[in-house]
Structure 1
Amino acid sequence: MQTLTPEELHQQYAQTVAAYGALLPEPALRVAFAHQVDGYFRQYLLALWKAGGESVEQHQVDIYNAVWSRADSAPAALYWEVATGVARAGDFCPPAFFADLRSYDRQHATSLSRRFADQLTLLLLLFASADGGVSEEEAGYVNACSDALLEQCCLDGIRPDSPGVNAGDYVSRRTSGKSAPQAPAAPQKQTREPTQDQTQTQKQPEEEPLPSLDELLSQLDGLCGLDQVKKDVKSLINLVKVRKLRQQADLPVPPMSLHLVFLGNPGTGKTTVARLLAQIYRAVGVLSKGQLVEVDRSGLVAGYVGQTALKTQEAVQKALGGVLFIDEAYALVNQDSANDFGREAIEVLLKNMEDHRDDLIVIVAGYTDLMEKFIHANPGLESRFNKYFYFEDYTAPQLLEIFRSMCTRGGYTLSAEGEGAARKLLDQLYEDRDENFGNARDVRNLFEKAVTRQSDRVALLESPTREQLMELLPQDIDEPEEP
């Protein structure tokens, strides 16, 4: 194949994007496509190069900067940015606007989403051929990306109106002697079914049974403190159960948001409760999987235009069927900058909460005052987050109970004197608490330091007994005095 110059690639890319955009019949579809398409294709370009296993050169940087379709969005990435992007390229994530295309196809019996899958294949092949040819590894990645999109089309009943493009038909060179790094994990299609003998001989890992609702509630009750939170969770479960019963009885069910705001200081059990709540939602039939995906601002926001939507969409995809837990969510709103990328992440989140309202729960968490400002910063947030759980600071006796439980789980025992020393320290910690008070995190630090001191002490014993290996003494718990 002839090597393409960056200018030639830009021209072909821009023409292809413009031609497809002209097919979109609704203004909202055209706007979403126009604002998102370049960012996604630059991300796919990085992943394509990672699949090919080639080292990044200046020619590829020029190609990356040629992927733009609007006059005001030409990138100016430097070599190190592209090289880092290739190294960090992750799994294939369908564009956010692809869900809109499928929705339109379902309503109007069209095939815009399948046409986009074909255009994606052709454009990725264009990128791959820009350096003179398409390798087998690159073709495999292109096909895997296309298959991921077409699988979603099939699930929506969107049938093909023409045969799809097979990237393998365009392979023109092979990697020379060295094995390429594994391509980013786009879903792979199985080319052939395993034989019956193969199926019987393969050892299938046994799946652990999912915990029942009663078991999950027992775990919730076993948490230290959090009395009001426990009541709120159980009230929420009752609300969900009654809604299901009303639906079965053909009674009206008012709209209800199950997204939550967790308010409180660090170390008060917010993540632990969120993880239990994700499984509880699964047990009562609200969610299909019940996993918890935990992120903060850095897990949603990128430093370049167009990349935040990709990063946020990837987090949402991982959380589908479960709970997306956003810690310190107030950091997404920068009051000092109207152009902060955190606002883009919020818009993507709100759209996905609407598109996947039947199988995605979002929980935002952080300090009480800051979270209230965050929720009121966007009308969309106010309408979707109307349930608040307050996590109070642990009391001094509760901190001691948490310390005891850490000892038990870690295989340590507290001597009577050791418990007295821990109680004194935790009482003082609670009395002196300020805005930096870490609750259970501070207890964890105390426990880990005690274990370290105990190890230093026991290591000096010639033949320590089992009891000595387990026992924590006052000198293990107390901070050593400064000389």
Structure 2
Amino acid sequence: MKGTMTAGEVHKQYNEIVTAFRKLIPDPALRLTFSRQVDGYMRQYALGVWQADNASAITPRHVEFYNAVYSAGNPVPSALYWEVATGVAGFDLFQPPAFFQDLLRYDRMKGTTLARRFADQLTLVLLLLAAVDDVVSESEAGFVNSCNDTLLHLCDQEGLRADRPPLKADDFIARRPVPPPSPAQPQREEPAEKKEEGPATERPKLEELLAELDGLCGLDKVKSDVKSLINLVKVRRLREEAGLPVPPMSLHLVFMGNPGTGKTTVARLLAKIYQAIGVLSTGQLVEVDRSGLVAGFVGQTALKTQEAVQKAVGGVLFIDEAYALAGTDSANDFGHEAIEVLLKNMEDHRKDLIVIVAGYTDRMERFIHANPGLESRFNKYFFFEDYDAAQLMDIFVSMCRKNGYALSGEGEGLARRELEELYRNRDENFGNAREVRNLFEKAVARQADRVAQLDGPTREQLMELLPQDIKP
């Protein structure tokens, strides 16, 4: 498997982490001691991380990562393969670096939190190195956490209080795919693991998916755009088979529109449609927003974004309110780092990953034009219009039907008037289908309060929504 991070990028991130921590050390002598010792210890701990990962052998890429661990002003290592492999095999137990005792003493005298901050930085570095094979395994995360726990225990022994929760490696674990069993070996059934939106086990039929798309309320222009896109992909494939030239085409998409207009629903369908026509291998949808990609420490955002991408490979990565990634020019904001990681992965996985970014129309236009890399990869726009009053009513009726409720004649009239007023008075915060769901859920709650007072309610009474349920 081709690595998604180069040794040069590892060095850059490592140097940023070390430099950021070095700037936190006020004492010049302690700062010098840290600078001289840190690289050697970090390379030693890299051997421990890789030893913990029993599932993978040492590769030349491990050697490249090992030699990338040096900070500005320090010698560049030039270890050979046998040195790294021998070091991994011979790693014994984690021992805190010598300068850590100096950090503890300084914290005790000055009331600072340098030792605990270093424990966080160590976790970031080790996670960076654990990703040499693009996966942070449970065993690697366990080793990283044990190192962190050792350092924090020393802080506790010194009575040094924490000013923030410790950084843990568990959030970065990515399970390796289990290889299929050989024909001679029967497959053992394993309990199903809960997933946000697991990869489809069977390729869905295109006709069924298109029928589901057509069944969505409204969205006529979006439906037409989706079908045109499918036709374009089909014809490109036919041209390839006929030996005709096929110009490059990006399948990444921009969904523009207000909340509640069906963007996530269409993205989920589109992921399955792409799988049905052979563009994607698994067709899952992984939905994230800024908080699912961006972290608060130097170097952590790249790992967090990489984890989201790894889950989405084979399907669609759907980024809601994507404009929030470029919402500030602050040097301390890591949204731009997430964008760079995304752009690189869109290139590395261009044959089996589609990214859909979504949000308000005006903000998404500014977001795409804020970065030339985004402009070149996102050149197809789907616009999701607000539902009109009649469509909002159709959605309300559909919710009633799916959930076993029925509107009385007067209840239906009142619901229609309520939705017409909602649509007429809408502003930039109008939630479209979300407004309908709110109305429906409140009606169900009021109906439950009313029916609970009845003595032996009939089936019809349990189902019926009256005007007083719609609006008290």
Please give the alpha-carbon distance, in whole angstroms, between the structure 2 residues aligned to 1:116 and 1:219: 57
Gaps of 5+ in 1: 1-27, 42-63, 74-91, 103-111, 132-141, 153-166, 169-180
Q: TM-score, normalised by structure 1?
A: 0.64
Secondary structure (helix, strand or coil) at the match of 1:256 reads coil
Secondary structure (helix, strand or coil) at the match of 2:447 reads helix
Q: Residue 245 in 1 paired to residue 238 in 2?
A: yes
Q: Residue 329 in 1 paired to residue 295 in 2?
A: no
Please give the alpha-carbon distance, in whole angstroms, between the structure 2 residues aligned to 1:185 and 1:259: 27
Amino acid at match of 2:405: Y
Cα deviation, residue 148, structure 1: 9.1
Please give the alpha-carbon distance, in whole angstroms, between the structure 2 residues aligned to 1:410 and 1:441: 16
Residue 354 of structure 2 corresponds to 361
Deviation sequence 1:159-203 (CA, Å, 0-9, x none): xxxxxxxx99xxxxxxxxxxxx99985546999x8998x948858
Please give the alpha-carbon distance, in whole angstroms, between the structure 2 residues aligned to 1:314 and 1:203: 24
Residue 133 of structure 2 corresponds to 149
Q: Residue 272 in 1 paired to residue 265 in 2?
A: yes
Alpha-carbon distance change, 444 to 378 in structure 1, aligned in 2, over 3 angstroms: same
Secondary structure (helix, strand or coil) at the match of 1:285 reads coil
Q: Residue 418 in 1 paired to residue 389 in 2?
A: no
What is the correspondence of 1:24-103 to structure 2 with a 5 Å cutoff? 29-37=6-14, 69=39
Moved more, 296-305 or 332-341: 332-341
Q: TM-score, normalised by structure 2?
A: 0.66
Deviation sequence 1:403-441 (CA, Å, 0-9, x none): 001011111111111111100100000000001100000
Please give the alpha-carbon distance, in whole angstroms, between the structure 1 residues aligned to 2:82 and 2:399: 54
Cα deviation, residue 394, structure 1: 0.2
Alpha-carbon distance change, 355 to 377 in structure 1, aligned in 2, over 3 angstroms: same
On the 8 A contact 1:327/1:364 being kept in 2, the answer is: yes
Please give the alpha-carbon distance, in whole angstroms, between the structure 1 residues aligned to 2:291 and 2:309: 14
Residue 452 of structure 2 corresponds to 459
Cα deviation, residue 272, structure 1: 0.2
Decide which of 283, 297, 300 is 1:290's aligned counterpart: 283
Please give the alpha-carbon distance, in whole angstroms, between the structure 2 residues aligned to 1:40 and 1:194: 44
Decide which of 327, 337, 340 is 1:344's aligned counterpart: 337
Alpha-carbon distance change, 187 to 335 in structure 1, aligned in 2, over 3 angstroms: closer
Cα deviation, residue 340, structure 1: 1.8
On the 8 A contact 1:38/1:68 being kept in 2, the answer is: no
On the 8 A contact 2:135/2:176 being kept in 1, the answer is: no
Deviation sequence 1:372-398 (CA, Å, 0-9, x none): 000000000000000000000000000
What is the correspondence of 1:385-396 to structure 2 with a 5 Å cutoff? 385-396=378-389
Secondary structure (helix, strand or coil) at the match of 1:363 reads strand
Please give the alpha-carbon distance, in whole angstroms, between the structure 1 residues aligned to 2:237 and 2:83: 38
Residue 476 of structure 1 corresponds to 469
Residue 401 of structure 2 corresponds to 408
On the 8 A contact 1:330/1:374 being kept in 2, the answer is: yes
Cα deviation, residue 250, structure 1: 0.9
Decide which of 215, 224, 228 is 1:235's aligned counterpart: 228
Cα deviation, residue 211, structure 1: 2.2
Cα deviation, residue 66, structure 1: 11
Cα deviation, residue 32, structure 1: 1.1
Please give the alpha-carbon distance, in whole angstroms, between the structure 2 residues aligned to 1:120 and 1:390: 58
Alpha-carbon distance change, 146 to 395 in structure 1, aligned in 2, over 3 angstroms: closer
Residue 374 of structure 1 corresponds to 367
Cα deviation, residue 35, structure 1: 1.8
Cα deviation, residue 355, structure 1: 0.5
Deviation sequence 1:454-480 (CA, Å, 0-9, x none): 1001111110111111111111001x3
On the 8 A contact 2:318/2:356 being kept in 1, the answer is: yes
Gaps of 5+ in 2: 19-33, 43-54, 66-77, 98-125, 137-141, 144-168, 193-199
Please give the alpha-carbon distance, in whole angstroms, between the structure 2 residues aligned to 1:456 and 1:229: 40
Residue 447 of structure 1 corresponds to 440
State the aligned residue count. 354
Please give the alpha-carbon distance, in whole angstroms, between the structure 1 residues aligned to 2:352 and 2:222: 23
Please give the alpha-carbon distance, in whole angstroms, between the structure 1 residues aligned to 2:225 and 2:287: 22
Please give the alpha-carbon distance, in whole angstroms, between the structure 1 residues aligned to 2:360 and 2:82: 43
Please give the alpha-carbon distance, in whole angstroms, between the structure 2 residues aligned to 1:262 and 1:389: 5
On the 8 A contact 2:135/2:175 being kept in 1, the answer is: no
Cα deviation, residue 33, structure 1: 2.2
On the 8 A contact 2:280/2:314 being kept in 1, the answer is: yes
Residue 88 of structure 2 corresponds to 122
Please give the alpha-carbon distance, in whole angstroms, between the structure 2 residues aligned to 1:281 and 1:418: 41
Cα deviation, residue 128, structure 1: 3.9
Deviation sequence 1:307-362 (CA, Å, 0-9, x none): 10010000000000000000000000134424420000000000000000000000
Cα deviation, residue 30, structure 1: 4.5
